[in-house]
């Protein structure tokens, strides 16, 4: 394993495990409706994903090539369920800044979240 890959592996650690190893735990939390705990864990995972991605990024790859969208989508989904559209928009915009957005499946979700936020703000 080369040095940058080893550094990315270390950066991808959350609570002694690689962030990808938390998916079954996140699935269980979702089933048990433990959204508060999920958001705490997902916050740590997003930081690890971003740090590991920054280490692995090379000029020949599109921006954010190593960023896994599923974690951002999970956070956005929790915020949508809570009708916290501002938080949903924030996490999707965070993702947008990291990747080649034209290729993102989350772009339509961001448009919808912005519309929901505008509607909620105008109702207040």
Which residue range is the domain that position 72 belongs to? 3-123
Burial class, 123, CB count within 10 angstroms (exposed 0-12 / middle 13-18 / buried 19+): exposed
Q: Which tokens sit at 35? A: 């959204």
DSSP state letters, 45-70: HHHHHHHHHHHH--TTS-TTTT--HH
Please check the confidence at residue 100 and state whether its pLDDT lies above 80. no
Per the structure, the count of domains in the chain is: 1
* Confidence tier at 1 by pLDDT (50, 70, 90): low
**Percent of the chain scored above 90 by pLDDT?**
73
**Percent of the chain scored above 70 by pLDDT?**
98
Per-residue pLDDT tens digits for 27-41: 999 999 999 999 999
Query: Which pLDDT score, from 0 to 100, does residue 102 have?
Result: 65
């Amino acid at each position: 394993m080369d040095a940058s890959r080893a550094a990315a592996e270390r950066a991808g650690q959350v609570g002694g495990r690689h962030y990808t190893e938390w998916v079954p735990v996140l699935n269980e939390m979702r089933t048990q409706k433990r959204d508060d705990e999920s958001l705490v864990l997902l916050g740590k995972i997003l930081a690890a994903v971003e740090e590991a991605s920054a280490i692995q990024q090379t000029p020949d790859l599109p921006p954010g090539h190593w960023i896994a969208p599923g974690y951002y989508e999970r956070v956005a989904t929790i915020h949508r369920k809570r009708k916290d559209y501002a938080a949903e928009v924030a996490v999707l915009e965070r993702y947008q800044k990291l990747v080649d957005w034209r290729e993102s499946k989350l772009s339509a979700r961001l448009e919808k979240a912005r519309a929901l936020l505008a509607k909620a703000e105008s109702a207040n």
